[in-house]
C-alpha cells in the first residue's frame, strides 16, 4: 500500500487546514487509517484514527473538538480536518494504514504497517 499525504502549509493561529491522504496498491476498506504528527525535536505522536468502515473514530485529547478524521472509500482517501489551529500544532503530519480484521481504531504507532511521506503544517502566532 502506498500513501500520499498532502494539504500541509502555513496558516495563522485560529485558521484551518484539511489534510488528505490518498491510498493506492491495496484494498482500502481492509485498512484502519490514522494520522500521526512529529514536532521539531519531539517524538512522533498519535493524532486521530478511523476504523475500516468509518463507523469508529478516535482523536487524542489535545485535538478533540478541533480536528476531525474522515474517509471516502470511493476515493481511497482519508482526511484530517483541522480547525482552530494553534502554534503547538506545528509538525510534520503522517498518515498511516493498519490492516485490521475487525472494525476498530488503532492508536498505537507500532500497529501501523504503511506510512506516507509526511506533510508539514506550520501554524504562526
pLDDT tens per residue across span 56-73 = 999 999 999 999 999 999
Residue 100 pLDDT = 82
Average pLDDT over residues 36-60: 97
Average pLDDT over residues 15-26: 96
What are the Cα distances from residue 71, in Å, to 40, 66, 90, 91, 105? 28, 17, 23, 22, 13
Amino acid at each position: 500500500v502506498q500513501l500520499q499525504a498532502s494539504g500541509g502549509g502555513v496558516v495563522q493561529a485560529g485558521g484551518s487546514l484539511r489534510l488528505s491522504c490518498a491510498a493506492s496498491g491495496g484494498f482500502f476498506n481492509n485498512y484502519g487509517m490514522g494520522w500521526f504528527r512529529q514536532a521539531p525535536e519531539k517524538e512522533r505522536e498519535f493524532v486521530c484514527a478511523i476504523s475500516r468502515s468509518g463507523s469508529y473514530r478516535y482523536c487524542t485529547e489535545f485535538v478533540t473538538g478541533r480536528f476531525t478524521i474522515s474517509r471516502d472509500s470511493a476515493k481511497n482517501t482519508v482526511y484530517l480536518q483541522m480547525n482552530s489551529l494553534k502554534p503547538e500544532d506545528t509538525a510534520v503530519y503522517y498518515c498511516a494504514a493498519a490492516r485490521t480484521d475487525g472494525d476498530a481504531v488503532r492508536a498505537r504507532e507500532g500497529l501501523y504497517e504503511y506510512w506516507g511521506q509526511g506533510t508539514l503544517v506550520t501554524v504562526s502566532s
